[in-house]
Structure 1
Amino acid sequence: MIPTNAFQYLQSLEEINLSLSRVENIETAAFLGLLKVKVIQLDGNKISKISRGSFNGLFNLKTLNLSNNIIQEIEDDSFHGSSAIQYLDVSYNKLTTIPEKLLEPLTMLTMLNISNNLLQSLQGNLCYNFINLQFIMLNNNQLSEVDPCLHLLKVIELSLSNNLLKNLSQSLLPKNVQKLWIAHNNIEELDEDLFANTHSLSILDISGNVLNFIPQNIFEACISLKFLDISENIISIFDPIPFIAYEIY
């Protein structure tokens, strides 16, 4: 357990590493007063819940690593007062849901990793002014649909592999995306205009789905595409036109 005011006499701390320390609980205001802390590593512990106020007052915190715990719940306002966070990693936990306004204070967020959890939905969690958010990892969850606000973001790397997605629409993809992983879902077909606005897309992995056809003009706007993986699908008739016409190789 990390008790309240655990570091009250260490006001000069800039980084705290408590990885692999068997921590099970973080009390409210455990890090209160640490105005210089920029990095907190809590990965590889046995934390099951993040309560309100756990990270209050960490105005300069840039990196928070909570990966590889057994977190099942993160309460609303857990990150209140930590708006400077740029890198948030809660991967490899047991989260089934994210409170709708949990991420709202994190306006400086650059990287968000929620991969390898049990999430079924992210509805509304990305509908905020994340002007700096560039990397989102949502792979290895149970998502059956994409957050409707995703296309508003300036994300350049997006991982949605190993979920339960059945379809994607052009209106859901971020226009600035450069690397997109949607492998090992249940996608049966791709809309012809799916990549109409993704001119910067350079890496695309749609392997391990149930595609049986690639629309003829689907890659017309993908002028930057360098790597394409469509392996492990059920494409019975291979039409080379979508690839030859736009020099994808």
Structure 2
Amino acid sequence: MRFIFLSIFLSTVFVTFECSKVIELKCNPNFDVQSIVNLPYRCINGLSCFFEEIHVDESTSLVLNFDEANYGLDCVGFVNSTISKLPSNLFNKYKAVNSLYASGIDLLQLPSNTFENASNILDMNLSWNKLTKLEEKVFTPCSNLRKLVLNHNEIEEIDVDAFDKLYQLEELDISNNKLSLIPHKALAQLERLRTLNLSNNSFIVRYGQFPNSLVTLDLSYNKLENFTLKSIISLTKLKYLHLNGNRIFRFRQHIFPDGILDVLKSLKHIQLSDNEFYCTTLADIFIFMEKYKVTIDVVPHLIILNSSNIHGVGCREESRYLL
């Protein structure tokens, strides 16, 4: 009986060993960084090292080749690769790294230990991956993070403490995801956040969920219909508001209630193209904006010229819809 049990045990260990693969990584310090669009300045002009052509599944563990010469890197990146999760010891080795570029590598998850020892990271690009959730305190070790890019993922859920202690974060891009609701504290605690891009989600705006520090807020293409500036009344520093591509059609007592721009005095630029406004309503909005010296900006590719429009902003003729 003991012999049979030992045989089964050894067999199990063998199978586990066979199924688990370990790949040792060594980055290429001579990678042509000019071939990547929108790389941070420090990745182009600083000391960078990129990992190339790594294609592994979830059963593979990635470990880093420890080369003392790489400790002073400014930027680390992954390109032309397929990796379900980043190496767990990435920032144990590259403690001085300021930038991480991991865009378009099919990341599926960010385990809670992913960014251990990443206190020096300043900007991080995790765009064009397959992340579905941001776990509790996953970015907490990144205490000096200034810019976080998460656009074009499949994020449906953000834990209330996912951005815990990111007190230095100034720019957050979570556009082109699948978000509808974000816990109030998740965003409101980002006390230095200046730019927030939530475009191309199905986001529902609620009172008090944005930090008062915001200067630019992009809510375009979120299927908003009953949006009102009252919901962001605490954003007294807000200068740029993007509302393109929603389903807004009302004006007074809705999107622009009486007295709202006396409170939001910093708001000077607003985008309203590609909504559902009747032309008479849109004309009233232009008159109202002129009174408060607010400019209605138009994105070049959204300018309408060959149909009903006011200064390039498209609108609907009421007579076409009345029987």
| Deviation at residue 42 of structure 1 after TM alignment | 0.1
C-alpha distance in 1, partners of 2:229/2:163?
21
Q: More deviation in 78-87 or 227-236?
A: 227-236
Q: 1:178 aligns with which of 254, 261, 268?
A: 268
Match of 1:21? 105
> What amino acid does structure 2 have at the position aligned with 1:95?
L
2:232 aligned residue: 150
User: Higher helix share goes to which structure?
Assistant: 2
Q: 1:148 to 1:207 in 2, by over 3 A?
A: farther
User: Which of 187, 202, 218 is the equivalent residue of 2:295?
Assistant: 202
Aligned partners of 1:198, 1:178: CA distance in 2, in Å? Answer: 8
Kindly report which structure 2 residues correspond to 1:10-49, keeping only aligned pairs within 5 A, or say none. 10-49=94-133
Alignment partner, residue 169 of structure 1:
256
Partners of 2:91 and 2:207 in 1: CA distance: 36
1:138 matched to 2:222: no
Q: Which runs of 5+ in 2 are unaligned?
A: 1-84
- Asked if 1:229 corresponds to 2:312, the answer is yes
The structure-2 alpha-carbon separation of the partners of 1:147 and 1:53, relative to structure 1 and needing over 3 Å to count, comes to: farther
* In 2: Cα distance, 1:194 partner to 1:76 partner: 38
RMSD: 2.8
The 5 A counterparts of 1:34-183 are: 34-126=118-210, 128-130=211-213, 133-144=214-225, 145-146=227-228, 148-153=230-235, 154-167=237-250, 168-170=255-257, 171-173=259-261, 174-183=264-273
Alpha-carbon offset, residue 204 of structure 1: 4.0
1:81 deviates by: 1.4
The percent identity for this pair of structures is 26
Equivalent-residue separation in structure 2 for 1:136 and 1:172 (angstroms): 17
Q: Deviations over 1:166-221 (max 9, x none)?
A: 3212445532223211222234536678437732x23345988xxx9xxxxxxxxx
Asked if the contact 1:44/1:69 (under 8 Å) is kept, the reply is yes
**Deviation per residue, 1:46-95 (Å, 9 max, x gap):** 11111111101211100000001111111101100111110100011111
Aligned partner of 1:223 in structure 2 is none
Query: Does the C-alpha gap of structure 1 residues 8 and 179 become closer, same or farther in structure 2, counting only changes over 3 Å?
Result: same
Residue identity in the other structure for 2:221 = N
Which whole-Å CA distance do the structure 2 matches of 1:182 and 1:172 have between them? Answer: 17
Instruction: State the AA in 2 paired with 1:233.
Output: R
Measure, in 2, the Cα distance between the counterparts of 1:15 and 1:136: 24
- Alpha-carbon distance in 2 for matches of 1:76, 1:172: 30
Amino acid at match of 2:256: S
- What's the TM-score, normalizing by structure 2? 0.60
| Higher Rg | 2
TM-score by length of 1: 0.76
Show structure 1 runs of 5+ residues with no match.
213-226, 237-249
* Contact kept? 1:207, 1:232, Cα under 8 Å: no
Q: Taking CA–CA contacts closer than 8 Å with sequence separation of 6 or more, which of the two structures ends up with the larger relative contact order?
A: 1
Query: Are 1:179 and 1:203, in contact at CA under 8 Å, matched by a contact in 2?
Result: yes
Residue matched to 2:21: none
Structure 1 CA distance for aligned equivalents of residues 131 and 295 of structure 2: 38
Paired amino acid for 2:232:
L
| Alpha-carbon separation, structure 2, partners of 1:186 and 1:120 | 18
Equivalent position SS for 1:195: helix
